[in-house]
Amino acid sequence: MNTENQNIEVSLLLEAIYQKYGYDFRDYSRASIKRRIKNTLSMSGLKNVSEMQHKVLYDERFFNTLLMNFSINVTEMFRDPIFYQGLVREVISNLSKRSFVRIWHAGCATGEEAYSMAIILKEAGIYERSRIYATDFNEDVIRKAREGIYSIDSINKYGKNYTQATGNQSFSKYYTARYDYAIMDRSLRKNIIFSDYNLVTDHVFCEMDLIVCRNVLIYFNKKLQNRVIHLFIDSLTPNGYLCLGLQESIKFSDYADQFKEISRKEKIYQKI
């Protein structure tokens, strides 16, 4: 297919999704969106993007399938252990001095990073005076996050990450194993609020001491990256912290001068 025609079809599909369902993918990285559309086409048996657009408009179940494919759900507990080392060293020690701590995990997927944060706060002795808000636009992954149930193979990997990150206790104390899956301990879940939230279209999430948004901005174009970073600035308290993925940076954003770099390697910033 002519590349120009394909680009037009993709733009029309994204506009149709926005007009019909309110989900705005128009400023997502076009290369990433095209890969996800191609993957859905190969599984659906549809001939082209135009057929997909028609099906999206008239078949909500198909749209939900497409939405799952658009959602970025690659995550794990204590992913990038070096980041968690920096988080404890540079951020948690300072947050522990505050009377109450509010943390926002933006784009939490199936919840693994939110539970990782709960463990860190618990080991720092501040979980009882903390609240973690974990959000994602995909209601299905939010439901899985609330359940806190993961495969035992995943849990074994997470335990290794935990040990490399900050773990000085037995990781097994934080979950209950049952056959081939494990459920996170209730004490970790009680101060986490999982909710549906769309970074692209929703508004300020106020008075956060720390915002963690790792490996999400890489899927946005520059315009949308700037919009989201501005949203984070408005959502942070004075001297609040922002943590991004190891391959992300605010250096080239329009708001780089609004932050102080705390740790370049771990991509930890503080609002000025």
> Residue 56 in contact with residue 93, Cβ under 8 Å?
no
d(CA 17, CA 37): 13
State the pLDDT at residue 2.
Answer: 64
pLDDT recorded at residue 129: 97
pLDDT single digits (tens) 23-37: 889 988 888 899 889
| 68-82, 95-109, 235-249: segment of lowest average pLDDT | 68-82
* 193: nearest Cα among 104, 81, 65, 97: 104
pLDDT score of 202 more than 90: no
pLDDT recorded at residue 146: 96
Q: Between these two residues, 209 and 75, which has the higher pLDDT value?
A: 209
What's the full length of the chain, in residues? 272
DSSP secondary structure code for residue 188 in this structure: H
**Model pLDDT for residues 70-99, shown as the tens digit of each residue:** 877 779 999 999 999 999 999 999 999 999
pLDDT of 43 higher than 90: no
pLDDT above 70 coverage of the chain, percent: 99
The number of beta carbons lying within 10 Å of the beta carbon of residue 173 is 11
81-271: CATH topology: Rossmann fold (3.40.50)
Average pLDDT over the chain reads 93
User: Counting beta carbons within 10 angstroms of the beta carbon of residue 77, is it exposed (0 to 12), middle (13 to 18) or buried (19 or more)?
Assistant: buried
The Cα 41–Cα 34 span in angstroms is 10
Cβ atoms < 10 Å from Cβ of 19: 9
Residues of the chain with CATH 3.40.50.150: 81-271
Give residues with Cβ within 8 angstroms of 71, minimum separation 6.
109, 136, 137, 138, 141
pTM: 0.87
| pLDDT value of residue 120 | 97
At residue 254, the pLDDT reads 96
**pLDDT value at 203 more than 90:** no
Mean pLDDT of 167-196: 94
